[in-house]
């Protein structure tokens, strides 16, 4: 099975795929070449807000899916994008819960793919995420562990993640 198909399968399996959101996110995605170091720096999900603090738009920069590393990155950024999509035109404050769900779904992918060892997954995380030691990541990983496989509704999960920030913030 090719990597793009694995990506789609994962989204469908975990109810992250709905036609409308998928089409919208695809239309707001820029594909970069992962082997080009300069382009790699652009990887991320960027959003804009209006004067009332409502999310108005976003853009996702991800590498083309060609292997396990780029697949992990795509899952991560797709989850960021899907959360933003769910809050489009709403007032939404992004806080320290920001990395919890992207990290949680990455972990789920690692668990479900038998050919990916836990060690390889950790190594992958370290290599692909520059902000690994930020508060958002440290808290995000703890929240991810607490929420993993508990629910399958992204918006509900995100609200739970927001609540859990208080528990892990120091």
What DSSP line would sit under the chain, residue for residue?
Answer: --HHHHHHHHHHHTT---HHHHHHHHHTEEEE-TT-HHHHTT-EEEEEE-TT-BEEEEEEEEE---SHHHHHHHHHHHHHHHHHHHTBTSB----TTTTHHHHHHHHHHHHH-TTS-HHHHHHHHHHH-TTTTSHHHHHHHHHHHHHTTT---HHHHHHHHHHHHHHH--
> Which residue of the chain is nearest Zn ion when measured via CB?
102
Q: Which stretch binds Zn ion (CB under 5 A): 63-71, 96-104, 149-157, 158-166?
A: 96-104
In this chain, which stretch among 22-30, 57-65, 91-99, 146-154 interacts with Zn ion, using CB under 5 A?
91-99
Q: Among residue numbers 98 through 157, which ones bind Zn ion (CB under 5 A)?
A: 99, 102
Query: For Zn ion, which is the closer residue by CB, 63 or 102?
Result: 102
Q: Which stretch binds Zn ion (CB under 5 A): 5-13, 24-32, 51-59, 92-100?
A: 92-100
Question: Cβ of residue 103: shortest distance to Zn ion, in angstroms?
Answer: 8
Contacting residues toward Zn ion, per CB under 5 A: 99, 102
């Amino acid at each position: 099975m090719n990597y793009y198909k694995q990506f789609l399968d994962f989204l469908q399996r975990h109810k992250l795929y709905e036609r409308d959101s998928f089409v919208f996110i695809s239309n707001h995605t820029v594909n970069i070449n992962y082997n080009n170091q300069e382009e790699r720096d652009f990887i991320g999900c960027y959003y804009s807000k209006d004067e009332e603090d409502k999310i108005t738009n976003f853009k996702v920069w991800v590498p083309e899916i060609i292997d396990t590393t780029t697949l992990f990155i795509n899952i991560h950024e797709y989850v960021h994008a899907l959360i933003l999509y769910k809050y489009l035109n709403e007032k939404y404050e992004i806080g320290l819960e920001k990395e919890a769900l992207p990290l949680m779904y990455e972990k789920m992918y690692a668990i479900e793919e038998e050919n990916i060892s836990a060690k390889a997954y950790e190594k992958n995380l370290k290599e692909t995420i520059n902000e690994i030691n930020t508060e958002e990541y440290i808290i995000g990983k703890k929240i991810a562990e607490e929420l993993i496989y508990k629910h399958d509704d992204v918006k509900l999960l995100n609200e739970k993640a927001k609540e859990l920030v208080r528990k892990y913030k120091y």
